[in-house]
């Protein structure tokens, strides 16, 4: 017969203490704040006026989503962001500048991936950027401007011709018109901070699927508006792709439409 082991009180207390230690979360598990801001390339913060930017924070190794939400707030202080010299370590974000802040419940250091998609108010212009960095429990990522992601591009809204319109008769002149802003919604005007004269805005034309030339668009006298015209000499299915390009930064954005011309 196997002798029965008798557990003494000290042994029972030691076992209970060990079980409590194993069941408890690690001592360093704690909320860690992360603030993400999205800065339009060569411009300001992307916020509420443009529909915000969707920010997703996830574990870069497992893919587990840690937090998700939208940037909210204004575009920030123009002078501080665009005009004043910036010393090392000096922030450019004011308290009203658009941001997304989340508290992550971390029990270990995690390689966090931040993914930003927007601006959500302009679906055809939505871009996506991401970055990865370590976040340690209890070490907030909120200092200075927080975690800043740069979003390249222009928002190009094609205003004319309207999509799927059917035009009759040739020859005729078809107006081309588009509104162009930075991804933060910042305005474009001649000699302005975002100079209309420094951007290339053109329409790429295809007829029945074949390249049929380009049409330049010029500033149309209204903030952020550009216009040109297409001389149509034959019927067919037309596609117009209007793009904006900044040769200094490489910033590029576009919109497209299709229309039909009948005899």
pLDDT for 146-197, tens place per residue? 999 999 999 999 999 998 899 999 999 999 999 999 999 999 999 999 999 9
CB 166 within 8 A of CB 259: yes
pLDDT of residue 1: 46
User: How would residue 28 be classed by pLDDT, with cut points 50, 70 and 90?
Assistant: low
> Per residue in 116-149, pLDDT tens?
999 999 999 999 999 999 999 999 999 999 999 9
Tell me whether strands 166-168 and 200-207 are parallel, antiparallel or unpaired: unpaired
**Residues contacting residue 109 through CB under 8 Å, at least 6 positions apart:** 134, 135, 136, 137
Which CATH superfamily hosts domain 155-262?
A: Immunoglobulins (2.60.40.10)
> Per residue in 58-110, pLDDT tens?
999 999 999 999 999 999 999 999 999 888 878 999 999 999 999 999 999 99
Share of the chain above pLDDT 90, in %: 85
Q: Which CATH code fits 30-152?
A: 2.60.40
Q: What is the pTM of this model?
A: 0.86
State the CB neighbour count (10 A cutoff) for residue 61: 11
pLDDT of residue 223: 98
Q: Residues spanned by CATH 2.60.40.10 within the chain?
A: 155-262
Cα separation of 7 and 68, whole Å? 51
DSSP the chain: -PPPPPPPHHHHHHHHHHHHHHHSPPTT-EEEEEEEEEEETTS-B--GGGT--EEEEEETTT--EEEEEE-BSB---HIIIIIS---TT-----TTB-BEEEEEEESS-EEEEEEEEE-TT-GGG-EEEEEEEEE-TT--B-STT-EEEEE--EEEEEEESPTT-EEE-SSEEEEEEEEEEETT----BTTSSSBGGGSEEEEEEEETTEEEEEEE-EE-SSTTEEEEEEEE-S-EEEEEEEEEE-TTT--EEEEEEEEEEE-
């Amino acid at each position: 017969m196997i002798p029965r082991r008798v557990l003494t009180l000290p042994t029972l207390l030691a076992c209970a203490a060990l079980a409590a230690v194993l069941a408890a979360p690690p001592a360093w598990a704690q909320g860690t704040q992360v603030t993400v801001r999205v800065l339009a390339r060569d411009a300001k913060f992307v916020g509420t006026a443009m529909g915000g930017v969707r920010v997703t924070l996830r574990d870069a190794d497992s893919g587990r989503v840690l937090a998700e939400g939208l940037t909210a707030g204004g575009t920030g202080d123009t002078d501080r962001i665009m005009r004043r010299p910036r010393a090392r370590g000096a922030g450019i974000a004011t308290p009203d500048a658009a941001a997304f802040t989340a508290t992550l419940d971390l029990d270990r250091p995690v390689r966090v991936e931040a993914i930003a998609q927007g601006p959500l108010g302009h679906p055809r212009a939505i871009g996506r950027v991401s970055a990865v960095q370590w976040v340690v429990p209890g070490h907030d990522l909120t200092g200075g401007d927080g975690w800043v992601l740069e979003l390249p591009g222009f928002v190009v809204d094609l205003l004319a011709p309207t999509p799927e319109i059917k035009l009759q008769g040739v020859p005729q002149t078809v107006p081309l018109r588009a509104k162009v802003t930075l991804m933060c919604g910042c305005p474009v005007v001649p000699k302005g901070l975002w100079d209309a004269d420094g951007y290339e805005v053109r329409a790429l034309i295809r007829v029945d699927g074949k390249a049929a030339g380009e049409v330049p668009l010029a500033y149309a006298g209204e903030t952020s508006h550009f216009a040109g015209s297409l001389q149509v000499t034959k019927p067919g299915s037309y596609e117009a792709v209007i793009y904006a390009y900044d040769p200094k930064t490489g910033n590029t954005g576009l919109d497209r439409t299709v229309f039909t011309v009948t005899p």
